[in-house]
Amino acid sequence: METKSNNKVSKWAFAAFGLVLVCLTSCVGGEKWTPKYEEWPTDRIERITKIRIPEYQVTKAFIGPTTFTGDFTDSLYIEFESMPSAELFEQIDSLIAAGKSGWHKDNNEYSYNVTWGNGIPAPEGEKDEEDRFFKLNITKGEKTGLIVYGMW
């Protein structure tokens, strides 16, 4: 009779543990349930980066986990509809030479990084009170790129 009682306790303990585990994985840093990602139209990117990139399509989207405070990092792999022009890269080179543009260059790889919020002013058209970041990577001579964005 004692064995039967212990089995009931074990089943309930196992069920309770499973319920706690499900709650923890869905509430603390779990993957977002929807595969949706934030839209980054070319005019928004132009406002932030000060360059006009060709229209593009998202080829892969990685939606990162969101912490209980709302922080997240998402990545969008993109393919441009047309090859970015030599003039575009000349414009970026000019911004880099002028300094403090957010643009950086390593050989043929170009990256733009900006962070705002928590006292750091937002780029034109974005909200100062949001703690956000945006990164764009493009390579001269390639039709693909990477957008990484999120909240910190």
Domain boundaries, the chain: 1-30, 42-151
Report the C-alpha gap between 131 and 133 in whole angstroms: 7
Q: What percent of the chain has pLDDT over 90?
A: 73
Q: Are 77 and 148 in contact (CB under 8 A)?
A: no
State the pLDDT confidence band at 36, using cuts at 50, 70 and 90. confident
What is the arithmetic mean of pLDDT over 114-137?
95
- Structure token digits, residue 141: 């001579």
Q: Is the pLDDT of residue 24 over 50?
A: no
For the segment 103-130, the average pLDDT, to the nearest whole number, is: 95
Of 121, 52, 123, the C-alpha closest to 92 is: 52
The whole-number pLDDT of residue 34 equals 46
Candidate from 11-15, 114-118, 120-124 with smallest mean pLDDT: 11-15
pTM of the model: 0.76
Reduced to 3 states, what is the DSSP secondary structure of residue 42?
Answer: helix
